[in-house]
Amino acid sequence: MKKQFTKKIPYLALAGFICAVGIGAPQISSAKQANAASKVVNQQSQKAQPKIEIGQKLRVPELNLKENTYVLDYKPADINGDSVKDQVILVGTKEKIDGKLDAYASNLSVIVQDGKTKKYVKYDWVNKGTDGKLYGELGREPNLIIGDYTGNKVNDIIVTAPQGGNGGFVDHLILTWERNTLKDVLAKDVVADNQELYTNSQANFRLKLPASWKGHYKASQYAGASTNKIMPSAKHVVQFDYTTKDGKDTEMLLMISVFSKNDWNRLSSEQGPPVGSVITEANGMVYVYTTPQSNPFDPQSNDGKLFDQLYGDLNIKNSFELLK
């Protein structure tokens, strides 16, 4: 099946989030196998809700699911922090090839049924293709992992979607519960004044980027052991890279690193050029930003001029905000 462009994150950051399979409760019908925004459904099914099993077709009238929607994985877990286990269900659509269901599932979505209210929340995993259109994520035998990825002592939902084939990679989606809906931990949201809001729940900050940056940068996030390759001693690193007009080259525009206070004090006392400048300190962590010492491009070239403009448009201390 044709693969659309999608987001990658470091796999090391996901280690350790393995959870047991549980029992679900939405209405289902038997079968042989099994918009990037959350949708809340307030209605509740009045019928008895039998146990669900992986490989069954899923039918929830309130959600208007496609006829060929199957349960790919599910786990009972408290996702919203109310101490009641919720129903976490991974679903996708499947087509028949030569009379058998395709090994791949398309249009992957996560459905959570609140264990207390029985209301449903649905998140559709979609990605922007090279043509600018949105396409549903696909995967070969995708699954769910439940664990506290964001560090707020409440379970998050991690979806892994293997792409198959020789040397195939795995796509990941990380969802957290926020204001009675599911939110992509690594997503960039567009705010009302046309500026982009980059949010990093794991590192506990958001950054309001200038409108001029839109379409000219990419953000790479690192956590845990992977940060040592970018910034030794840092707990988290986010690097914002300028992408050239031809898309063939990238250069760092901004790096934000998060250190423990002890590590930062040690680094600050060492001889040599400073690692960066402090933005703020909170909860024993120090947030530091690093910028390039000079324009890596010819200042008179198109890329050089745009690089200078993007660098000049950013006011880091006014744009930076802690989440909590």
Tens-place pLDDT, residues 219-247: 998 888 888 888 999 999 999 999 998 88
- For 219-237, the three-class secondary structure string (H helix, E strand, C coil) is EEEEEHHHHHHCCCCCCEE
pLDDT digits over 241-253, tens only?
999 988 889 999 9
DSSP 19-87: -------S-EE--S----SEEEE-----S--PPP-TTSEE--GGGT--TTEEEEEEEEE--SSSSS-EE
Residue 189 pLDDT more than 50? no
Q: Per-residue pLDDT for 61 more than 70?
A: yes
From 149, 184, 219, give the residue that closes a domain: 184
Q: Are residues 139 and 228 in the same domain?
A: no
Residue-range definition of the domain harbouring residue 258: 188-322
* Residue 258 backbone dihedrals phi, psi, to 5 degrees: -120, 120
The 3-state DSSP class for residue 302 equals helix
Report pTM.
0.50
Mean of the pLDDT values across residues 26-49? Answer: 44
Does residue 199 share a domain with residue 161? Answer: no
- Domain shared by 192 and 251, yes or no: yes
Last residue of a domain, one of 184, 209, 230: 184
How many CA atoms are closer than 13 Å to the CA of 25, on its beta-carbon side?
20
Cα distance between residue 67 and residue 76, in whole Å? 24
Question: How many domains does the structure of the chain reveal?
Answer: 2
Confidence of residue 168 (pLDDT cuts 50, 70, 90): low
User: What are the structure tokens assigned to 227, written together?
Assistant: 């940060």
- Among all chains, which residue has been given the structure tokens 């004090």? 265
The token pair that represents 212 in the structure block? 């001029």
Asked if residue 192 and residue 172 are part of one domain, the reply reads: no
Residues 115 and 246 in one domain: no
Specify the pLDDT at position 195. Answer: 61
Instruction: Tell me, yes or no, whether 193 and 301 share the same domain.
Output: yes
Shared domain check, 234 and 165: no
304 and 175 co-located in one domain:
no
> What's the pLDDT score for residue 50?
45
